[in-house]
Structure 1
Amino acid sequence: MNSDITTAELPLAEADTRVEKRQRLLEKLTPYGFLSPYLIIYGVFGVFPVFFMIYLSFHMWNPVEGLGSMEYVGLENYVLSLTDPTLWQSLWNTFVMAVLSGTPQHLVALPLAYFLVMMGPKVRHWLTTAYFLPYITSTVAVSMIFYVMYSKDSGIINHTLIYLADAPWSSWLFGGLKDSLPLGWVQENSLIRFSTSFVVFWKYVGFNTVIYTAGLATISNDLYEAAEIDGANSWQRFRHVSLPLLQPFIFFGVTLTIIGNMNLFDEPFVLTRGAQFAQTNGKTITMYLYQIAWEWLDMGSAAAISWILFVIIGMFTGAYFYLFGRKGLGGN
């Protein structure tokens, strides 16, 4: 009798086990169900384009003719790109503008953040907000404003220089510019790099100031007081207390600057009206990539150039990490 009951109960036990397994599986899969909208969007717009670009870089393709027009060319896109003088010129322009705009960002942001912290929280919060405003302002809007200011005929910068060159009290300093005025700030190859770099510097110096201000706020006042008791002046406290403790923040800020400045597009594109001005010195590598992709409709070469740029940025970032990474992250 007992054996009959046990035998009858076996299917019920197996059914309960299957239900429990389903419940456990459902519990495991439920979080992924809630994440599925993000995962689908990320897969479609994040993961798929990366692999498609790798595939596309080995093909010649005009998007107007559809996917069926793809033609496999192997490494030809990479070979043509690496032997293209325009690519290397645009890469050099990008590097020069990255240095001209990136270096002053940190040289100004570091002492500026230190002075803001020394002023106290009330003044610091207001001024930090003011310096941060350019960063959150639309890049296109900022570039358009500077484009108007840089105008050769009606820009305020040229009008100011003309006034200073003619005024009796300032002609001794600016009179030498009179024969060269008005200057083509975004039309002349000799000036376009400096004009663009200043716009990038002006927009992003506040962002780095906020980073360094946050870093300085983590440093204990006891260290400054101890240094002051030892006779250290303001510069010595900044040099021997602030800078060493800010190394992780400096490493973070400079890394972002390297990556961002090697991808310069919006500012030079707007200032040069899509490279209509200053064809030689004003074109960055991302502008050249855009021209190949959307003006010449050569998506294969554009994809190859994008991966070349990826490798170059990786090399710069890797070299910086190798030289300063361990120290910047607090190691020995």
Structure 2
Amino acid sequence: MARTEKAISKTSVNPRSVPKKKTKIKKGYAGWLFASPWIIGLLLFYALPVVSSLYFSFTTYSILQPGDFIGFKNYSDLIHDHLFWKSIGNTVYFAVIFVPLSIIFGVALAMMLNMRVKGMSIYRTVFFLPTLVPQVALAVLWMWLLNPGFGLVNGMLDKIGISGPAWLGSETWSKPSLIFMSLWGIGQAVVIYLAGLGDISNEYYEAAEVDGANWFQRTFYITLPLLTPVIFYNLVMGVIGAFQQFTLPYTLTQGSGKPNNSLTFYVSYLYDNGFKYFKMGYASAMAWILFIIIMILTLLIFWSSKRWVHYQGK
């Protein structure tokens, strides 16, 4: 009898556990209820447009008309589109030069702004201010500065006996000018580098000084290796941002891409096809090609990071 009573007591349900289960279920419902606005927004404004754009890339959809299903015709037309390849070339040119330069100048500026000098907060603010300027205002400002006739840049070059080029009016100098303008606004990346420099322990530098390491050795064997996680982050974001360059070149050329389409970037051409020529199916195909390119480049950077990114304590 005693054994059967023990068996019954083990198999019987504890009445206290039932309210706990109901409480967990209620909390789960409450959690989903509070998260529902974000979930609905994610589905309506992200997931649905992504799926729709994939479908539209196989159609002749033009905003005004639903269009017909044409399979891979948009993609095949892009292969034979000269301006499509021109826009890719301009974008790759910008990304290949701008991203490395932004990392080099960003790290160098961060190291200078990390020095213990009186009034350093003022210098940091000065270098960060250009990032607060809207892209349209930035474009107007540099159009005046780089004006070949009365611009400040060519005026300063004339004083030292150098005849300045046409800058934005020259096919040769238009993209370097855009790269220079973009480098003017790397203050946000500099702030991230400063945070990374502040995270490096002083114990490493103290040990290096004891071993007799000079400034260059401390920089190349301590600072840069331990800063690679931050460089890795800015590299990924820089590549993505470079391939999505739009506002600055579009404002500088009023959407024309002049001279000779040297400032027609990929996203600019995508925008023209979608909202200027109403070829939304064509633009959707371009958007998915851009997505694939960025995804491949990001995966390559992540794959290579195992060889050059070093984390503290590892």
RMSD: 2.4
- Written as runs of structure 1 = structure 2, the 5 A alignment for 1:232-311 is 232-311=213-292
Structure 1 residue corresponding to 2:198, chosen from 199, 211, 217: 217
Distance 2:18 2:199 in 1: 55
Which blocks of at least 5 consecutive residues in structure 1 are unaligned?
1-16, 165-169
The alpha-carbon distance between structure 1 residues 323 and 59, as it changes in their structure 2 partners (threshold 3 A), is same
Which blocks of at least 5 consecutive residues in structure 2 are unaligned?
1-16
**Residues 159-214 of structure 1, C-alpha deviations (whole Å, 9 max, x = no match):** 3333x1xxxxx33xx2xx2xxx5x3221221111011111111112x222212111
Structure that is richer in helix per residue: 1
Distance 1:152 1:307 in 2: 39
Distance 2:88 2:257 in 1: 18
- Written as runs of structure 1 = structure 2, the 5 A alignment for 1:113-152 is 113-119=110-116, 123-152=119-148
| TM score, norm. by length of structure 1 | 0.82
What is the match of residue 99 of structure 2? 102
What is the match of residue 71 of structure 2? 74
What is the DSSP-based 3-state SS (H/G/I as helix, E as strand, rest coil) of the residue aligned with 1:135?
A: helix
- How many Å apart are 1:236 and its aligned residue? 1.5
- The residue type paired with residue 63 of structure 2 is P
Structure 2 residue corresponding to 1:208, chosen from 169, 186, 189: 189
| TM score, norm. by length of structure 2 | 0.87
Q: Are 1:128 and 1:209, in contact at CA under 8 Å, matched by a contact in 2? A: no
- How many Å apart are 1:315 and its aligned residue? 1.6
- Written as runs of structure 1 = structure 2, the 5 A alignment for 1:5-24 is none
Distance 1:279 1:308 in 2: 24
- Is it true that 1:30 corresponds to 2:27 in the alignment? no
Distance 1:187 1:308 in 2: 30
Could you tell me the percent identity over the aligned residues? 30
- Is it true that 1:50 corresponds to 2:46 in the alignment? no
What is the match of residue 7 of structure 1? none
The alpha-carbon distance between structure 1 residues 229 and 58, as it changes in their structure 2 partners (threshold 3 A), is same
Q: Are 1:60 and 1:300, in contact at CA under 8 Å, matched by a contact in 2? A: yes
The alpha-carbon distance between structure 1 residues 24 and 246, as it changes in their structure 2 partners (threshold 3 A), is closer
**Residues 25-61 of structure 1, C-alpha deviations (whole Å, 9 max, x = no match):** 4432112222222222222212111111111111101
What is the match of residue 3 of structure 1? none
- How many Å apart are 1:18 and its aligned residue? 11
The alpha-carbon distance between structure 1 residues 226 and 144, as it changes in their structure 2 partners (threshold 3 A), is same
Q: Are 1:61 and 1:300, in contact at CA under 8 Å, matched by a contact in 2? A: yes
- The residue type paired with residue 103 of structure 2 is H
Distance 2:254 2:302 in 1: 36
Between 147-156 and 215-224, report the one with greater CA deviation: 147-156
What is the DSSP-based 3-state SS (H/G/I as helix, E as strand, rest coil) of the residue aligned with 1:72?
A: coil
Distance 2:126 2:145 in 1: 21
Q: Are 2:250 and 2:257, in contact at CA under 8 Å, matched by a contact in 1? A: no
Q: Are 1:251 and 1:329, in contact at CA under 8 Å, matched by a contact in 2? A: no
What is the DSSP-based 3-state SS (H/G/I as helix, E as strand, rest coil) of the residue aligned with 2:172?
A: helix
Q: Are 1:114 and 1:213, in contact at CA under 8 Å, matched by a contact in 2? A: yes
- Is it true that 1:160 corresponds to 2:142 in the alignment? no
What is the match of residue 191 of structure 1? 173
The alpha-carbon distance between structure 1 residues 118 and 229, as it changes in their structure 2 partners (threshold 3 A), is farther
Aligned length: 297
Q: Are 1:187 and 1:272, in contact at CA under 8 Å, matched by a contact in 2? A: no
Distance 1:269 1:325 in 2: 37
- Is it true that 1:321 corresponds to 2:302 in the alignment? yes
- How many Å apart are 1:260 and its aligned residue? 0.6
**Residues 45-78 of structure 1, C-alpha deviations (whole Å, 9 max, x = no match):** 121111111111111012123xxx3210011111
What is the DSSP-based 3-state SS (H/G/I as helix, E as strand, rest coil) of the residue aligned with 1:203?
A: coil
- How many Å apart are 1:158 and its aligned residue? 2.6
Distance 1:117 1:203 in 2: 19
What is the match of residue 9 of structure 2? none
